[in-house]
Chain A
């Protein structure tokens, strides 16, 4: 019995003291690690969402641009022009309208409205002749819709992650599209 008493006490005494220190140190380290993990997760999630936002906007813009280029190329002529609205005579002689208002780029044909873009900060149209300017990668501007052979579209979109966040996500798109069937 005496052997048992003298042999176990120092061990238990040392073990209980170490547990308290270890507990405190462990608590601090665990807190630090947890904080790091949370921060990493928070910033990763935020960056990821921002990137997804940008990718989504980029893909939406690309789809809108592909739609515009395909449809404008097929039209017969531009019948009305404003910097925020284009009205074409489509290949089937029906009017085809693209307009920008209330942060949306909208396509209207046969009474059917389709929103091509949302969250548009700016969007504008310009019209040109087909004649290229010598020595420049540009065309002469058209004075009216009647002499328009080429249409330029530009827009800039942005979104906010949350209302108070700065609008850092934006996507600028620009293209010149030739009306192929207008001699």
Chain B
């Protein structure tokens, strides 16, 4: 009986051992599969998260570029970038900032225009190392007058006899005595609008030596006029046509409003007699201000590099004049409407006279009897130029209309004037 019992227990034990082995094998198989799955899931999660983090470094760099661009365009950083937390170290202006769980290092070199280098740092997921990406942005000066006519709305050049072309007051080969010469006419006048409306540019039967551009979907109304280079426009067979490649609908621009320069310590100007002519106001170098200007035969003489601020309206009649002496220049900041007739900067160059329309300036009208030269930058103003003479310079306005057969000559020299611009990105490279 004892032997049988022992034999029976041994059989049970063998069976129990087999079940245990099978269970272990079964568990091992399931465990192997589980480990493989978890390993795969972990790997995929890590890869995805790492890629996401790696891509997130670019927005960090972009934020750094934005801050550096804002810094170099700050009105107080024209000659010294080592302010507002930026320090000059080893020949570079530097600043660091923690942002969104990472950090950015921004560097501005001392070149002109400066080059920006920004590095974004983010911690790699499930690891201790840091992911970095760096970009280098070359800047350029975005001149205020890069187009002959830039509008945020309509451009109406339909009056009979109108014409738009270009010259360069800074290139002797493209001017005569700095002035426009029809024999040296250029074809670099660009008429652009950010509007997306159909027929937003109306050329009528007039010619444009250059290009035209609208916002996406916008179009130009062209009667018997033409748009193109000199050879194209001068060929009568091209009337009513636009030279291929000389019209686009991809204008995408930000036109910033005018900001009053600071500091600006304006004094009321006084008048006097110069060269036997009585002037109501004589503006030597410096800042000047008047509440408003009005007069049919009001005469203004600029003898130095002057700035003038008029918060109210400006009205000069047919007998009035605005004269810029050699070596003088005027930046005219208008808070109200401008209505000028008479003589404006004749003779003179556009680079020496610029009208700035502050956001409250909604109307600018110029009706010069003779030639005139100026730049008009008034993004909130409807600009109208009337007359049958020649005008030169460049215009930025909310809308633009030219009447009376006026011929407008874009002065390409304004595009090269570094005083007029602000820095924008010219080239973007990831290092």
Interface string of B16-29 (1 = CB under 8 A from A): 00000010001001
Q: Can you list 8 residue pairs at the A/B interface with Cβ under 8 Å? A: A8-B4, A37-B29, A48-B36, A58-B48, A62-B47, A91-B429, A133-B216, A180-B425
Residues of chain B at interface, number, CB under 8 A: 32
A66 touches B55 (CB 8 A): yes
Give the contacts of B237-284 with A (CB-CB under 8 A): 245, 248-250, 252
B427 touches A11 (CB 8 A): no
A62 touches B217 (CB 8 A): no
- A7 contacts which chain B residues (CB < 8 A)? 1
User: In the complex, A59 Cα to B15 Cα: how many Å?
Assistant: 49
Report B's interface with A, CB cutoff 8 A: 1, 4, 22, 26, 29-30, 33, 36-37, 40, 43-44, 47-48, 51, 54-55, 215-217, 245, 248-250, 252, 424-430
Given A11-B4, A62-B48: A147 touches B22 (CB 8 Å cut-off): no
Give the contacts of A51-91 with B (CB-CB under 8 A): 51-52, 55, 58-59, 62, 66, 69-70, 73-74, 76, 91
A140 touches B217 (CB 8 A): yes
Give 8 closest A-B pairs by Cβ, nearest first.
Answer: A180-B428, A140-B216, A129-B250, A147-B250, A131-B252, A181-B427, A131-B216, A55-B44
Given A129-B216, A149-B250: A52 touches B40 (CB 8 Å cut-off): yes
Q: Which chain A residue shows the least CB distance to B37?
A: A48
User: In the complex, A66 Cα to B22 Cα: how many Å?
Assistant: 48
- B29 contacts which chain A residues (CB < 8 A)? 37, 40-41
Q: How far is the CB of A36 from chain B (nearest CB, A)?
A: 9
A172 in the interface, Cβ–Cβ < 8 Å? no
- A33 contacts which chain B residues (CB < 8 A)? 22
B43 touches A55 (CB 8 A): yes
User: In the complex, A76 Cα to B26 Cα: how many Å?
Assistant: 60
Most chain A CB within a 10 A radius of its CB, from B216, B245, B425:
B216
A183 in the interface, Cβ–Cβ < 8 Å? yes
Q: How far is the CB of A131 from chain B (nearest CB, A)?
A: 5
User: In the complex, A130 Cα to B215 Cα: how many Å?
Assistant: 11
